[in-house]
Amino acid sequence: MSNIRFMIPCEEANHVCDKTQYKNASLKEKILLNLHLIFCRACRKYSSNNAKLTKTIKKAEVECLDKKCKEAMREDFNQALKEVSN
Amino acid sequence: MGLPTILKIVYFYHKTMQKQIINPDKWIDLYADYLFNYTITRVSDRDKAQDLVQDTFLAGLKSMKNFKGEASERTWLISILKRKIIDHYRKINSNKGKAEVRINYNDSESEGDWLEERVADPFDKTAEDTLQNNELGDAIHNCLGKLPTKQSEVFKMKTILGYETEVICNELNITASNLWVIIHRARTAMADCLKENWF
């Protein structure tokens, strides 16, 4: 066999599928994923669910605090905690 | 009635009778994001929302003795936060009450301050959309709360804050393949959790 693989196992397909959700997959990976999706029903299902999850989260516009804000909050809070326990 | 059924009932009874314990050390890790999301859908100003969450935690700390353990910690904190939000709006309104009369209507900056212009824009989001979005956001945070801490942390950084893979790896000291495994598990769990109501 040549060292170019056309078939990728399901685990790898899922991994690439996760990557595509964040636009981190390379072109080659995407082609291989789509080849895999042609014949694998389970992975097709997984990818459609995955895409739905991304869409839902995007639609919900959820917000999170980033790490810096949280750290600042934690510092203030710990100080207050000390005062209370003293 | 068999023994397993009796055991189940006893266990259930035990669980419901158990009083909720309060543990402020973990508040920020567990509830900061949830409370923040709750606030920002209602206040829509990041800095203000952050202040309100911070105030809520401090107020909770002060009135810890009043916590009776009937509701969960989170519900209790939300009820404090609700009051803070109402107070915030009251404050804004009392400031605005000092009537201002603006006659010149020429500059584009003051456009939109007139009542007539504030009627709903039909192409804007409807109230129902926003309401549903609020609920969806709450549902997502609920599901995030059910994930293990590491998974939810990575998932939030990658999906919601949109950090690059390398940044997350550096910050949390994990390898890239490690990160993708965590992401995969988190995504599967999230999809399962949201499937019932939102897909």
A7 near B CB under 8 A: no
B27 in a structural domain: yes
Structural element, H or E, at residue B164:
none
* CATH number of domain containing B86: 1.10.1740.10
Under 8 Å between Cβ of B36 and A59: no
**pLDDT number for residue B101:** 54
Structural element, H or E, at residue B58:
helix B46-62
Determine whether the interchain pair A64/B160 forms a contact, defined as Cβ–Cβ distance below 8 Å.
Answer: yes
Under 8 Å between Cβ of B160 and A64: yes
Task: Choose among A56, A62, A70: nearest Cβ to B198.
Answer: A56
**Coil, helix or strand at residue A5:** coil
Determine whether the interchain pair A65/B36 forms a contact, defined as Cβ–Cβ distance below 8 Å.
Answer: yes
Model confidence pTM above 0.90: no
**pLDDT number for residue A1:** 43
A48 near B CB under 8 A: no
A52 near B CB under 8 A: yes
Residue type, B74: R
Residues in chain A closer than 8 A to B36 (CB atoms):
63-65
**From A54, which residue of chain B is nearest by alpha-carbon distance?**
B159
Q: Take residue B11 and report the two structure tokens written for it.
A: 């266990």
B146 in a structural domain: yes
B104 in a structural domain: no
Share of chain B above pLDDT 90, in %: 5
The per-residue pLDDT of chain B, averaged, comes to: 77
**pLDDT number for residue B109:** 57
Query: What is the rounded distance in angstroms from the CA atom of residue B64 to the CA atom of residue B57?
Result: 10
Determine whether the interchain pair A70/B136 forms a contact, defined as Cβ–Cβ distance below 8 Å.
Answer: no
**pLDDT number for residue A17:** 93
Query: What is the rounded distance in angstroms from the CA atom of residue B124 to the CA atom of residue B162?
Result: 26
| Same-domain pairing of B90 and B132 | no
pLDDT < 70 regions, chain A: 1-5, 86
Structural element, H or E, at residue B152:
helix B149-155
Separation in Å, CA of A34 to nearest CA in chain B? 19
**pLDDT number for residue A45:** 92
B7 in a structural domain: no
pLDDT < 70 regions, chain B: 1, 10, 12-21, 95-127, 130, 197-199
| Same-domain pairing of B134 and B91 | no
**pLDDT number for residue B28:** 80
A54 near B CB under 8 A: yes
> A80, A13, A9, A14: which is closest to B63 by C-alpha?
A80
Query: What is the rounded distance in angstroms from the CA atom of residue B23 to the CA atom of residue B21?
Result: 7
Task: Choose among A53, A61, A67: nearest Cβ to B191.
Answer: A53
Determine whether the interchain pair A73/B37 forms a contact, defined as Cβ–Cβ distance below 8 Å.
Answer: no
pLDDT in tens, B140-187: 888 888 888 888 888 888 888 888 888 889 888 899 889 999 999 999
User: Which residues of B lie inside 8 Å of A (Cβ-Cβ)?
Assistant: 24-25, 27-28, 32-33, 36-37, 40, 46, 50, 53-54, 57-58, 61-62, 64, 133, 136-137, 140-141, 156, 158-161, 165, 171, 180, 183-184, 187, 190-191, 194-195, 198-199
Q: How many residues make up chain B in this entry? A: 199
Cα–Cα distances (Å) from B164 to A19, A38, B12, B171, in that order, read 12, 30, 44, 11
Query: What is the rounded distance in angstroms from the CA atom of residue B141 to the CA atom of residue B137?
Result: 6
Say if residue B100 is exposed, middle or buried (CB neighbours under 10 Å; 0-12, 13-18, 19+): exposed
Instruction: Quote the domain boundaries for residue B186.
Output: 128-199
**pLDDT number for residue A2:** 45
- Count of domains observed in chain B: 2
Query: What is the rounded distance in angstroms from the CA atom of residue B166 to the CA atom of residue B171?
Result: 9
| Same-domain pairing of B67 and B137 | no
* CATH number of domain containing B196: 1.10.10.10
